[in-house]
Amino acid sequence: MRVDPAAVTAAHGRRASSWAVLVDRPTRFVAKVETDDGPVLLKAAADHDIIAREVAGVARLGALGLPVPELLGSGEAPVAYAMLRWTDGAGLTSASPARAQADAGRLLRRVHAAGGDGPYAGTVPTWPEWMAGWLNHAAAWWKSTGRADPATIARLWSWLAQEAELLSTRGRDLMLFDGRPEHFIVDGDRIAVMIDLSEIRAGDAAMDLGVLAVDDPGLLPGVLAGYAPTDAERAAFAALVPFYTTLRRLARAEWFHANGDPADAEPIFALLAAEPPV
181 with 216: CB under 8 angstroms?
Answer: yes
122 pLDDT higher than 80: no
Mean model confidence pLDDT for the chain: 95
pLDDT at 63: 96
144 pLDDT higher than 70: yes
Average pLDDT over residues 155-171: 96
111 pLDDT higher than 90: yes
pLDDT at 116: 67
**Tell me: the pLDDT tens digits for 201-224?**
999 999 999 999 999 999 999 999
The greatest distance separating any two alpha carbons of the chain, rounded to the nearest whole angstrom, comes to 59
pLDDT at 196: 96
Read off the pLDDT band of 185 (50, 70, 90): very high
**Tell me: the pLDDT tens digits for 84-106?**
999 999 999 999 999 999 999 99
Read off the pLDDT band of 123 (50, 70, 90): confident
Helical spans, DSSP H, in the chain: 5-10, 48-63, 98-113, 127-145, 150-162, 164-168, 205-212, 220-227, 231-259, 266-274
Q: How long a stretch of residues is the chain?
A: 278
Average pLDDT over residues 151-173: 95
pTM above 0.85, yes or no: yes
Average pLDDT over residues 165-174: 95
194 pLDDT higher than 80: yes
pLDDT at 43: 97
**Tell me: the pLDDT tens digits for 27-61?**
999 999 999 999 999 999 999 999 999 999 999 99
In the chain, what are the domains?
5-85 (3.30.200.20), 90-274 (3.90.1200.10)
Average pLDDT over residues 127-133: 95
pLDDT at 216: 97
User: Residue 77: in which H helix or E strand, if any?
Assistant: none
277 with 156: CB under 8 angstroms?
Answer: yes
